[in-house]
Chains A and B, each alone.
Chain A
Amino acid sequence: MSQHYPTLLVTVPLLAAFIISAAGWINKRLCFPFAVATLTVAAYSCVGLLFRVLHEGVVHYRLGGWPPPWGIAYYVDQLNGLVLSVISVSALINLIASKRSIEREFPEKIGPFYTLYVLFVTGMLGITVTGDAFNLYVLLEIGSLTGYALIAMGDKDRAPLASLNYLYMGTIGACFYLLGVGYLYIVTGSLNMVDIASILPGLYQSKAVMTAFIICMVGMWIKMAFFPLHGWLPNAYTFAPSASSSLIAPLMTKVMIYVMIRFILTVFTPKFAFSTLAVSDSVVWLAVIAIVMGAIFALAQRDLKKMLTYIIVAEVGYMVGGAWLGNRAGMTGAILHIVNDALMTLCAFLVVGNIVYKVKGYSFEDLKGLFSKMPFTMGAFVIGALSIIGVPPTCGFFSKWYLISGAIQASHYGFVVALLFSSLVNVVLFFRIIEIGYYEPFGDHHGHDHHPEPMAEAPLSMLVPLFIVAAGLVLVGLYTGDIVNHIIQFVIPKGLL
């Protein structure tokens, strides 16, 4: 059983999606337990796989027993073991947390929603686990197509158009990636990542290889919403139903960061990406612009969800910049931030889900008096906010620590300033929200007759998952040392100092 974990975590959700769809025809109430069971199996396999990798080293799995480069091979090392666990666990938590809001927002479409939900997770897990460049494209499109549909189920006025714009951009991104893979195939005759990696070193001076790399990168940047290719993201995530945005926002961009790091570290070599190409400095400057612009756009927003989406744009800048600093600390920070940012974003969007469930809105106007109305939700929000700002001991601080360290070591002070600037802007952003929730509506002078609004907290099924995530933010922060020492340091090649 345990030797089949790599395939289980893709095939089980894939097949279960059909079963859930069928179950939806019989009785809508069957869908949720099926989905939970599926994702539990997936999460169990992922975490089991991570532990196996930690004990035994890299796990190879050949689909159908075909040896590479002919068959599709799955490789699981520490990097994707970690990312897989994050994906499956956060998808599971979100599934449980969003049950009530799904029943409220589209009771007639529960079956299709859970089908898409599980398919989306299949796509994300598949992208992460596969060791085949073309297979990655297919799974990417599975994830994206279901993502478009999940987003389009939101706000009736705005979501379809936002989703269609996302679809245009997403398709361009995926096509660019496919094109790059085509060039790699021309040069190497292989689609297997490890195989390509063994053939490429002799060909690094070839223009086709450089083109392939850059085209692939551009494709990924579109998919991960790297500024200035981020145009699709804010509207798509804002107008999506809360269950979808809290699923897609933490996962999609982070998975694409993972793919980018995988290409830099495994398919190509850090030496090629950072030295031969000589573009890394420009990419880090792009990341600086991404961070600064993301922060400024976030400041301009008047509703919570859209503000968070621009923060995601800035956070993508953190990770891209960290990965391209070209040193060990920066890369560690980027990988660590994949985990941390997924959790932080999940926490923030779950809070939005709770607020929407009770208040039916997420503009700043709707947030008045929330601290007395929903103290527990807002408590979790504060923890998430502190993590995004980067206050110890939450995990956001520690990835920022590595990122800034990396920037100092690379003498890239622009990136240091951008990270600090974004932290400060985040303080403003989140305390603005906290102020609205805490002070308004104003009582009379001195607040002696401050009548707090009666408590109307979200149901326990939404609160408990939220608390788990919030506690996770602190725990991951405290265990940063272990994560870096036992997982991340094995991922980064020894040559990268």
Chain B
Amino acid sequence: METITSIKPLLAVLVSLLVTPILVSSRASNVREGWTFVAATAKFLIVLSMLPTILKGTEIVYTVVEFLPGAAIKFRVDALGMLFAIVSSSLWIVTSAYSIGYMRGLKEHSQTRYFCFFAFALSSTIGVAFSANLLTLYLFYEMLSLATYPLVTHHQDLEARSSGRKYLLYIMGTSIGLALPAMLICYNLAGTLEFSKQGFLAGTASKPLLGLLLFMLIFGFAKAAIMPLHAWLPAAMVAPTPVSALLHAVAVVKVGVFSVVRVLTGVFGTNLLLSLDFSPFIIFVASVTILVGSFIALTQDNLKRLLAFSTIAQLSYIVLGVGLLSPKGMIGGIVHIAMHAFGKITLFFCAGAIFVATGKKNISEMIGIGRRMPVTMAAFFIAALSITGVPPCGGFLSKWYLVLGSLEAHQIAILVVLLFSSLLNACYFMPIVYKAFFCRPEEAMFKNTVQEAPLFCVVPLVVTALISIILLFYPQPFFRLASMMVHSITGT
């Protein structure tokens, strides 16, 4: 594998940090948000400028500082990292626009702090995407936890405090209590933490110890919300909706899943996992999370909480796909990072738009809302289809590959899990859409006049919904990256 050294990954990480002083010092809110856009666009462009190099099969590396042999703060841009970076940096632009509409619409306090930590969180996300070793990944993972804490607890009331506590307890408790010691044990076993195609743990320890390490690393990155460490995610829904949208449907949870994928592919390596037969454990954990998460989602009335449980289930699709260890399954899992991101962010944007326009949070209060906010609810419908995995949306493709992967791995039970969970998805999404548009006039809770949320809220959600559809027809960049990743590790 050819590599070139370039400072671009570092720039991509730092660009949003560099604007924070300007954000803090700017007096006018227009200036502040203008700079947020500048940073978001710059970040996206830097990430995009690396895409051709990556597609050619070259990797970009940059070492910031090495403090132990094999454990440095080092960036390496590969296909998997690229895919994640494109998704998160492009969605930051959309979310920034949405944030303006949402935060101004609700006249939230401390907006400067909000935008600063948002930028900080994005820096950390890109840092995770581009990290070359477990240490760098851990560093940005922790930075992300801390950067999102003020965002989650933005309202600064009692409810925010208890959610913030839960958030930190789960996220930092597991990362310090499980991931950190596991990382140190890995370092002492292998003498390096550098991700490699075939993992670096092969042949270093006995099966029980490796099993323990796998357990510690999968549950240590609790942002992946694998049950039973999922409870922080519904709690974190007290955050303002743009935060929930970007961080809890895209950045934070995806960082968790991304870390787990890196652990499986870069630390252990597929061959080692296959030879030790750890795949059933991963699949089991993921399947349980998928089913239980979907069932709990059925019972929710608060729209954001429903979406949170849906996210928990969908995240495990990714873990499941990679855990199958079959090429098609892995491609499906990795592409699902992108597909789910666009679908879920649209759903959250819709939930936020409804809240801005009507102040309603519960599904039972949204009967007939389609008459008042047709655009929003149409986008909601499209995104729901994408999450369920029905054409004409991008979500169909990733699920299709997951199904193929489970057949390839001869896991018929997994096939059943996938199909049954799609059914459940439809069960909790479609009633919302149905009641929004088709209800008897006396049931409708809203007048028939169209009154959408502010334009800054509506445009982003339309954009992301459209992208969800486009992704069915042009999924090439993501599929190409995912298959490059899978080919490089399986060698096929």
**Which residues of A are interface residues toward B (Cβ below 8 A)?**
386, 389-393, 398, 401, 404-405, 408-409, 416, 420, 423-424, 427, 431, 435, 438-439, 442-448, 450, 452, 478-481, 484
- Chain A residues with CB under 8 Å of B64's CB are 478
Residues of B within 8 A of A398 (CB): 67
Residue total for B at the interface (Cβ-Cβ under 8 A):
40
Are B135 and A439 neighbours in the complex by a CB distance under 8 Å? Answer: no
Q: Give A340 Cβ to nearest chain B Cβ, in Å.
A: 13
User: Looking at B64, B156, B158, B164, which has the most chain A CB atoms within 10 Å of its CB?
Assistant: B156
* CB of B139 within 8 Å of the partner chain: yes
Stretch from B4-12, B40-48, B175-183, B260-268 forming part of the interface with A: B175-183
Cross-chain contact of B173 among A404, A409, A424, A445 (Cβ < 8 A)? A424
| Partner among B68, B139, B156, B180 whose Cβ is within 8 Å of the Cβ of A393 | B139
A450 x B173 contact (CB < 8 A): no
0/1 interface trace, chain B 383-423, chain A, CB 8 Å (1 if under) = 00000000000000000000000000000000000000000
Assembly CA distance A409 to B176 (angstroms): 19
- Decide yes or no: A439 and B161 within 8 Å by CB, A392-B142, A408-B184 being known contacts: yes
Which residues on the B side are within 8 Å of A448 (C-beta)?
Answer: 106-109
Give A392 to B153 CA distance when docked, in angstroms: 23
Q: Are A390 and B67 in contact (CB under 8 A)?
A: no
The one of A416, A445, A484 that contacts B181, using a Cβ cutoff of 8 Å: A416
A235 to chain B, nearest CB (A): 31
Closest 4 CB pairs of A and B: A481-B67, A392-B139, A447-B155, A480-B67
Sample 17 A-B pairs with CB under 8 A, ordered by A number: A391-B143, A404-B181, A405-B188, A408-B184, A424-B176, A427-B172, A442-B158, A443-B157, A446-B155, A448-B107, A448-B108, A448-B109, A450-B109, A478-B64, A479-B65, A481-B65, A481-B72
Given A398-B67, A424-B177, A478-B65, A392–B157 Cβ distance below 8 Å?
A: no
A409, B188: Cα distance in complex, Å: 7
In the complex, the answer to whether B156 meets A443 with C-beta atoms within 8 Å is: yes
Q: Tell me the minimal C-beta distance from A263 to chain B in angstroms.
A: 28
A420 proximity list for chain B (CB < 8 A): 176-177, 180-181
Q: Is the CB of B157 within 8 A of A405?
A: no
Interchain nearest-CB distance for B261 vs A (Å):
21
Option from A389, A392, A405, A438 in Cβ contact (under 8 Å) with B184: A405
Q: Is the CB of B180 within 8 A of A442?
A: no
Q: Is B295 close to A, CB under 8 A? A: no
Residues in A neighbouring B156, C-beta threshold 8 A: 438-439, 442-443, 447, 450
Q: Once bound together, how far apart are the Cα atoms of A416 and B108, in whole Å?
A: 44
Chain B 156-167 near chain A by CB (<8 Å), digits 1 or 0: 111011001100
By a CB distance below 8 angstroms, the chain B residues around A450 are 109-110, 155-156
Are the CB atoms of B142 and A391 closer together than 8 Å?
A: yes
Interface string of B171-213 (1 = CB under 8 A from A): 0110011001100110110000000000000000000000000
For residue A444, which residue of chain B has the nearest CB? B157
The answer to the question of B138 belonging to the interface, with a C-beta cut-off of 8 Å to chain A, is yes
B288 at the interface (CB under 8 A from A): no
Minimum CB distance partner of A398 in chain B: B67
Residues of B within 8 A of A479 (CB): 65
Q: Does B375 contact A (CB under 8 A)?
A: no
| B176 close to A438 (CB less than 8 A) | no
Partner of B73, one of A393, A423, A431, A446: A393
With contacts A392-B135, A420-B176, A481-B66 taken as known, whether A438 is within 8 angstroms of B181 at the C-beta atoms is no
**Cross-interface CB contact of A439 among B72, B106, B160, cutoff 8 Å:** B160
Cβ of B168 under 8 Å from chain A = yes
B423 → A minimal CB distance (Å): 37
**Other CB < 8 Å A-B pairs besides A390-B176, A404-B184, A447-B109, 10 of them?**
A389-B176, A392-B135, A427-B173, A442-B157, A445-B157, A446-B155, A447-B156, A478-B73, A481-B65, A484-B68
CA distance A420 to B184 in the complex (A): 12
Q: Does B229 contact A (CB under 8 A)?
A: no
Q: Is B176's CB under 8 angstroms from A401's CB? A: no
Looking at the assembled complex, report how far the CB atom of B113 sits from the nearest CB atom of chain A, in whole angstroms.
9
B146 interfacial contact with A, CB 8 Å:
yes
A481, B68: Cβ atoms under 8 Å? yes
Cα of A405 to Cα of B191 in the assembled complex, Å: 11
B110: chain A residues within 8 A (beta carbon): 450, 452
Within 8 Å by CB of A427, from B65, B72, B176, lies B176
CB neighbours (8 Å) of B65 from chain A are 478-479, 481
Query: Which parts of B66-87 form the interface with A (CB within 8 Å)?
Result: 66-68, 72-73
Q: How far is the CB of A435 from chain B (nearest CB, A)?
A: 6
With A401-B184, A478-B65: A447-B142 Cβ-Cβ less than 8 Å: no
Q: How far is the CB of B163 from chain A (nearest CB, A)?
A: 11
Supposing A405-B184, A408-B188 touch, asked if A446 and B157 sit within 8 A by C-beta, the answer is: yes
**Given A420-B176, A442-B157, A450-B156, A431 and B168 touching (CB < 8 A)?**
yes
Return A39 CB to nearest CB of chain B, in Å: 31
A480 to B109 Cα, complex, angstroms: 40
- Shortest distance in angstroms between B306's beta carbon and chain A's nearest beta carbon? 21
- Whether B67 contacts A484 by the Cβ 8 Å rule is yes
Residue of A nearest to B175 (CB): A391
Chain A residues in 8 Å Cβ range of B66: 481
B168→A427 contact, CB < 8 A: yes
Query: How far, in whole Å, are A254 and B142 apart by their CA atoms in the complex?
Result: 28
Contacts of B158 in A (CB 8 A): 439, 442
Closest chain-A Cβ to B165's Cβ sits at a distance in Å of 8
**Whole-angstrom CA separation of A480 from B65 in the bound complex:** 9
User: What is the CA–CA distance of A52 and B99 in the complex, to the nearest angstrom?
Assistant: 56
B420 to chain A, nearest CB (A): 38
**Which chain A residue lies CB-closest to B161?**
A439
Partner of B138, one of A392, A424, A446: A392
Docked pose: A386 CA to B153 CA in angstroms: 19
Cα(A443)–Cα(B64), bound, Å:
43
Which B-chain residue is minimally distant from A423 (CB atoms)? B176
B241: min CB distance to chain A, Å: 13
Contacts of A405 in B (CB 8 A): 184, 187-188
Contact across chains for B157 and A439 when beta carbons are under 8 A apart: yes
Chain B residues numbered 137-157 whose CB sits less than 8 Å from any CB in chain A: 138-139, 142-143, 146, 150, 153-157
Contact (Cβ within 8 A) B146 A386? yes
Residues on the A chain within 8 Å of B68, using CB: 481, 484
Q: What's the nearest-Cβ distance from chain B to residue A415, in Å?
A: 12
| Beta-carbon contact of A447 and B157 below 8 Å | yes
**Which A residues are CB-close (under 8 A) to B143?**
391
**Chain B hits for A392, CB < 8 A:** 135, 138-139, 142
Q: How far is the CB of A379 from chain B (nearest CB, A)?
A: 11
Complex: how many Å from CA A435 to CA B336? 37
Q: How far is the CB of A333 from chain B (nearest CB, A)?
A: 12
Bound CA–CA A446/B72 (angstroms): 42
Per-residue A-contact encoding for B28-67, CB less than 8 Å = 1, 0 else: 0000000000000000000000000000000000001111
Q: Chain A contacts of B164 at CB under 8 A?
A: 435
**Shortest Cβ distance from residue B24 to the other chain A in the assembled complex, whole angstroms:** 10
B residues in contact with A438, CB < 8 Å:
150, 153, 156
Measured between beta carbons, the chain A residues less than 8 angstroms from B177 are 420, 424
Smallest Cβ distance from A481 to chain B, in angstroms?
Answer: 3
